[in-house]
């Protein structure tokens, strides 16, 4: 059984990535970069540089050259006053907003920087691009309120940055934080009105699998100065790890949603079979479907409650998440996927009752490939957590063919940070619950569906007098339940008339009829059962395909 993946504790702003060490380039690196006209003083070495021309081709050539040289583990040199900081003291360091990049220039966007220290010891080079010229951004202790910490005498560099945006109608000083790049290759974002939750990464290598997970790191960033009132911001990043390098370009926009158009070019140092493209990292602890051993006043605690997939064949899959007793790895084979994401579908406050964490305001993250990704699979890793302070969910795309050393690979996609997506007309799963059956050998499952193609039935059913009988409904709608092991004992679908409760299942509106599918599973001797449910009308699928994994360790037999 795979060992637990080394996912990061969710401290500070709900996650902390494993910190990788800063690179100190060897003499051979300097020679390789000299061929690019960058001499031996490239900013990717963490050294002070002079302004130099820069564009995406320059970045790709830097990544290609870096991949041809041996990987050098990063250094984490810092004064002890910073390296020895604990969580509380590091958290007191504040960036002073008046020193933000582009502050006072009238641009819509500003950038604030994170200080190095505590877990964030990596020195990350950050540059500003102005009219095609890259200018290094040098550390200045005057930018920070360090409290009782003595300011370092040397230029110690920076750890990362956050992006703030001013929205139409807001005052010049009223900017909202919309994105953060901090730690390894982690980044995250929110749409207006949301709270930070799940994260994304540049790449994943070996997530949830046997052996040690490798965490690539963004060594260097370039922030392109936006034009006044520009609606987008361009960010470049150089990624490095023992296994590969990469050139990344992000085009960031924020309106109703926050959208990142990501273009990446990868250069393997070795053949790689366990890569994860467009990885998402989240947390799921419990919800009403299963909370054995949870003593908590809240009804649910999670940043995401499901994995949504739009397959290349047109199927829509909703995979409910779990906090398993041991690592669970699932894969969903596909060709040319249309999209996948970790979603926070429950949006009612009463689904969580947490006035502090406000899980109802956490974003969903949706990946839309910008090209044909070919054969592969969406992978899902679910890890045991038992707490809300530990990320335990990872989802990513893995191509069937391994990446080969000496080749280059381009992956482009759109990453949407949003409440939800509405890209199909199928009925959606709005609630899922499970529990003990009257027969101790069985397990009862129940899921509610609403909207989409089922709305066509609502008007007809509402007009029927007397109301439709179970037999009439069964003649119209048929639940299809598939069990990979064990026995399905029975399955049925019932209609629940429209409820006047505005926030039922977080749907925030009244007058929504629900269709409830119930069934019982007798697992027998099976230790693991994958469940699949969809609803058909006249042979046509009218609902999402719901999937879930039952395990004996999560539901001990009496």
- The region that residue 89 occupies, defined by phi over 0 for left and psi between -120 and 50 for alpha, beta otherwise, is alpha
Say if 22-418 and 428-551 have the same CATH topology. Answer: no
For range 322-334, the mean pLDDT: 95
Q: Which CATH number fits domain 22-418: 3.30.1330.40, 2.70.98.10, 3.40.50.720, 3.65.10.10?
A: 2.70.98.10
Closest among 234, 231, 226 to 262, alpha carbons compared? 234
- CATH class of the domain defined by 428-551: mainly beta
Q: In this structure, is the dihedral angle defined by the CA atoms of residues 98, 99, 100 and 103, taken in order, positive or negative?
A: positive
Q: Average of pLDDT values for 493-503? A: 66
Cα separation, 451 vs 445, in Å, equals 21
Residue 258: pLDDT over 90: yes
The encoded tokens of residue 238 equal 């150089």
Triad 78, 81, 86: Cα angle to 5°: 100
The Cα 447–Cα 518 span in angstroms is 7
- 210 pLDDT more than 90: no
Going by the DSSP 8-state scheme, the letter that residue 538 receives in this structure is T
Using the predicted structure, report yes or no on whether residue 431 has a pLDDT greater than 60: yes
What residues does each domain of the chain span? 22-418, 428-551
> Is the separation of the CB atoms in 42 and 49 below 8 Å?
yes
Task: Give 108-124 pLDDT, tens digit per residue.
Answer: 999 999 999 999 999 99
Mean pLDDT of the chain: 86
**484 close to 504: Cβ distance less than 8 angstroms:** no
pLDDT in tens, 265-301: 999 999 999 999 999 999 999 999 988 889 999 999 9
Task: Order across the sheet with 512-522: list the strands.
Answer: 428-436, 443-450, 512-522, 487-499
- Quick one: average pLDDT of 320-328? 95
DSSP 374-408: -EEEEEEEE---SSTTB--EEEEEEESSPB-TT--
User: What's 10's DSSP letter?
Assistant: -
Q: What is the 3-state secondary structure (H, E, C) of 184-233?
A: CCEEEECCCCCCCCCEEECEEECCCCCCCCECCEEEEEEEECCCCCCCCE
- For residue 463, the model assigns a pLDDT of 55
β-strand partners of 101: 111
Annotate 143-192 with DSSP letters as a single string: GEE-TTSPPPSS---B-EEEEEEPPTT--TT--EEEEEEESTTEEEE--T
Average pLDDT score over residue span 249-270: 98
Q: For residue 429, give the H/E element and its range.
A: strand 428-436
């Amino acid at each position: 059984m795979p060992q637990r993946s080394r996912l990061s504790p969710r401290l500070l702003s709900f996650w902390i990535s494993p910190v990788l060490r800063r690179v100190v380039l060897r003499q051979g690196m300097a020679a390789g970069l000299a061929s690019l006209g960058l001499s031996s003083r490239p900013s990717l070495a963490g050294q002070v540089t002079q302004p130099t021309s820069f564009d995406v081709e320059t970045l790709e050539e830097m990544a290609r050259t870096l991949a041809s040289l041996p990987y050098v583990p990063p250094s984490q040199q810092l004064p002890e006053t910073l390296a020895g900081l604990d969580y509380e003291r590091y958290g007191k360091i504040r960036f002073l907003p008046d020193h933000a990049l582009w502050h006072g220039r009238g641009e819509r966007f500003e950038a604030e920087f994170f200080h190095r220290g505590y877990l964030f010891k990596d020195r990350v080079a950050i540059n500003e691009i102005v009219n095609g010229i890259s200018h290094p951004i040098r550390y200045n202790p005057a930018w920070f309120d360090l409290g009782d910490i003595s300011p370092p005498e040397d230029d110690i560099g920076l750890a990362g940055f956050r992006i703030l945006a001013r929205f139409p109608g807001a005052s010049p000083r009223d900017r909202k934080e919309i994105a953060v790049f901090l730690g390894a290759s982690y980044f995250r974002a929110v749409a207006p009105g949301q709270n930070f939750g799940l994260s994304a990464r540049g790449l994943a290598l070996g997530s949830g699998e046997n052996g040690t997970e490798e965490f690539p790191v963004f060594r260097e960033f370039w922030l392109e100065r936006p034009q006044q009132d520009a609606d987008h911001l361009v960010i470049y990043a150089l990624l490095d790890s023992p296994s590969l390098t990469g050139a990344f370009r992000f085009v960031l926009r924020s309106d109703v949603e926050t959208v990142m158009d990501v273009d990446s070019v990868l250069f393997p140092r070795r053949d790689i079979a366990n890569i994860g493209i467009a990885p998402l990292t989240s947390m799921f602890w419990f919800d009403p479907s299963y909370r054995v051993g949870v003593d908590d006043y809240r009804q649910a605690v999670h940043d995401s409650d499901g994995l949504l997939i739009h397959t290349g064949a047109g199927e829509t899959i909703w995979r409910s998440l779990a906090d398993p007793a041991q690592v669970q790895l699932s894969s969903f084979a596909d060709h040319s996927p249309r999209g996948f994401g970790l979603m926070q579908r429950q949006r009612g406050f009463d689904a969580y009752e947490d006035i502090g964490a406000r899980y109802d305001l956490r974003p969903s993250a949706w990946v839309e490939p910008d090209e044909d990704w070919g054969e592969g699979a969406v992978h899902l890793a679910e890890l045991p957590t038992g707490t809300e302070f530990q990320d335990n969910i990872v989802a990513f795309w893995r191509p069937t063919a391994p990446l080969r050393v000496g080749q280059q690979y381009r992956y482009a996609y759109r990453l949407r940070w949003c409440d939800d997506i509405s890209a199909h007309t199928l009925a959606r799963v709005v609630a899922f619950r499970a529990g003990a059956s009257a027969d101790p050998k069985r397990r009862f499952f129940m899921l509610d569906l609403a909207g989409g193609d089922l709305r066509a039935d609502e008007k007809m059913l509402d007009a029927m007098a007397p109301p439709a009988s179970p037999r009439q409904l069964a003649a119209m709608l048929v639940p299809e339940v598939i069990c990979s092991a064990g026995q399905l004992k029975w399955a049925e679908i019932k209609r629940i008339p429209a409820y006047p409760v505005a926030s039922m299942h977080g749907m925030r509106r009244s007058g929504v009829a629900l269709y409830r599918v119930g069934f019982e599973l007798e697992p027998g001797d099976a230790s693991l059962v994958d469940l699949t449910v969809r609803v058909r009308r006249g042979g046509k699928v009218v609902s999402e395909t719901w999937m879930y994994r039952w395990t004996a360790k999560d539901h001990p037999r009496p």
